[in-house]
Chain A
Amino acid sequence: VERTILRPSTNLMQLVYGNSASKSTTSINEVQGNTEDEESEDEDFFKPKGEGKKKLGDGLDGGNFNADDCSKFTNHANLRNWKSEELIQSIRDRFITGDWSKAARRGQVSGADNE
């Protein structure tokens, strides 16, 4: 899910570092989250355990301060069927069995773009 958000990539700098100069660790989200927690403390006390898991998706925005510390990011649910001929063709040129000139261009063009 997170990856699709990134796709438009209009401004990746903003996405990563945020708009203001404030540190991600002291963002506004956090302050809000805290006061809410304190107000509704009684309800939280009986919070079903499963709810913690739902929050995981918020990790990207720094909304979940106790997100799992894990570098692996594999979404097994979204796996595509790599047995289909179409998909195979779509990445053929990323292999030495594919079109070498296309692969070479991939490295160059973009390199020039950024100079």
Chain B
Amino acid sequence: MGKTTYMRLKGSQNLRQRLLLSTLSSTPIIIEDIRPDDTWPGVRPHEVSLLRLIEKICDDCVVEINETGTKLKYKPGIVMGGRQLVHDCGVSRSIGYFLEPLIVLGLFGKKPLSIRLKGITNDSKDPCIDTFRSTTLPMLKRFGVPPEGLELKIESRGAPPHGGGEVVLSIPILQNSLTAVTWIDEGMVKRIRGVTFSTRVSVQFENTMLHAARGIFNRLLPDVHIFTDHRAGPQAGKSPGYGISLVAETTSGCFISADTAVSYARGEEEGEIEDEKEELMPPEDIGEQIASVLLGEIEQGGVVDSTHQGLLFLLCALCPQDVSKVRVGKLSPYGIETLRHIRDFLGVKFVIKPDPSTETVILKCVGCGLKNLSRKIS
């Protein structure tokens, strides 16, 4: 065996993209200086959990972490996929954190992936599970992902800090590769859909959120429908919480989303156990806030919302060697980081041009021509 050359990186930033791109491009990586100055240095529980998850669905991948957790060595293997897998995501980040890289990784597997993920389904930091269903999965279909076998089921919900939610994700494999897109027409918003949830609190919280959100949209659009999803008993997880996920659907088939959830803080984070029962944001404010965030996203323009920019660029870059052209609103910091990592790992550089008349940004790239190699090796 020849000596492996590693790409050297620093810090814990964008770990998910680094691992994902490393795997897809078969580039081994070494990451140093992972939070060396923190009170608790090194990798966090959710990062370890993510690595375990990758090990679960890949063959022959090697993960080495040093004693202090500040250095990580990752040698990617072959994405195998597989059925009836189970993974406990822990409670330091929500399931959304894991789903973002997983839905892309799964596409390039040998076998279709179906996995049960346990943990937090809704929180304010990562996209909620409902947003994945309403916005993220339809986005994959744009790029030629077969709709059969693309599914995300919510078996039970879990809010922070204790989680207790369970979802089942199914991802089909690509028979060959993705399809390049020209996607610059945002269209007009024709309807707004959404879903509220509540666990271990009164269903009245949902009605209040829903009415507050509707109130904001009233003067713009009649076609607003927000569903409720009240959970009780074992389906409600272990912690009280409530939240809302909204999606605006346009005439050209774009989905613009906004979501959040509220619950009591994770106690372990700051070590403050005493005043645990702080005030939660009232449901009325949550409804209005997320409705406003959604309108902000619509105003900004683009075929996806700011949260989905990273995924959009990634999918464009993974396409065959055709030109993809997409429109986004203002570039988000995460989107920019994604662009940089795509260049470093895949060698794909986007042409980025502002479009002054609409204050949006047009990005063009030629895909790196990634094929689903795992499938053929058999």
Contact = CB atoms under 8 A, between A and B. Distances in A.
Contacts of A39: none
Interface in A46-105: 47, 49, 52, 59-60, 62, 64-74, 76, 79-83, 87-88, 90-98, 100, 103
A2 B353 contact: no
A110 B35 contact: no
A9 interface: yes
B378 interface: no
B220 A92 contact: yes
Contacts of B216: 82-83
Contact residue range for chain A?
35 or more
B307 A2 contact: no
B169 to A, nearest CB: 17
Contact of A72 (B127, B289, B357, B361): B127
Contacts of B16: 69
B126 A12 contact: no
A30 B12 CA distance: 14
Contact of A98 (B188, B289, B292): B188
Interface stretch (B52-60, B106-114, B236-244, B329-337): B329-337
A110 B293 contact: no
B354 A82 contact: no
Contacts of B343: 17
A79 B352 contact: no
B181 to A, nearest CB: 14
Contacts of B8: 25-26
Interface residues of B, number: 79
A96 B250 CA distance: 9
Contacts of A37: 37
B219 interface: yes
Interface in A3-27: 3, 6-7, 9, 12-13, 15-17, 23-26
Contact of A113 (B33, B296, B352, B357): B357
Contacts of A97: 220-222
B184 A95 contact: no
Nearest to A49: B39
Given A71-B334, A79-B296, A66 B12 contact: yes
Interface of B: 8-17, 33-35, 37-39, 97, 100, 125-127, 184-190, 216, 219-222, 251-252, 258, 260, 289, 291-293, 295-296, 298-299, 301, 306-311, 325, 327, 330-334, 336-337, 339-340, 343-344, 349-355, 357-362, 364
Given A71-B311, A90-B299, 9 more contacts: A12-B353, A66-B12, A69-B13, A74-B258, A74-B307, A76-B289, A81-B292, A82-B292, A94-B186
Interface of A: 2-3, 6-7, 9, 12-13, 15-17, 23-26, 30, 34, 37, 44, 47, 49, 52, 59-60, 62, 64-74, 76, 79-83, 87-88, 90-98, 100, 103, 106-107, 109-111, 113-114
A-B interface, 10 closest residue pairs, ranked by CB to CB distance from nearest: A65-B11, A9-B354, A107-B185, A12-B352, A73-B332, A110-B355, A67-B13, A24-B340, A66-B12, A95-B189
